[in-house]
Amino acid sequence: MTTSERQALEAYSRGDLTALELRRRLHGASYGDVLRLLSEEDLPLPRAPVAGREAQIERARAWMFPKHVP
């Protein structure tokens, strides 16, 4: 893996790069390839921050489990 590819993978892991852009930079790698590379480089999967999306997540929860949401 080249330095720029490693940097792109790190940026993706931090959530600074989309999977689509990363896959382009890795010459058409699949999402499965991305998972494998993250694992090999000991990098965590990205996590979308919840801040700013609370209402949308709560709406989805109410749709998914209408009887259980207070």
- Tell whether residue 18 is a contact of another protein (CB under 8 A): yes
Contact predicate 12/48, CB 8 Å:
no
Please give the structure tokens belonging to residue 3. 């330095």
Q: How far is the CB of 39 from another protein (least distance, A)?
A: 3
Q: Which of 2, 3, 68, 70 binds another protein (CB under 8 A)?
A: 68
Find all residues with CB under 8 Å of 27, minimum gap 6, and list them: none
What is the binding site for another protein (CB under 8 A)? 12, 15, 17-20, 22-24, 28, 30-33, 35-40, 44-50, 53, 56-57, 59-61, 63-65, 68
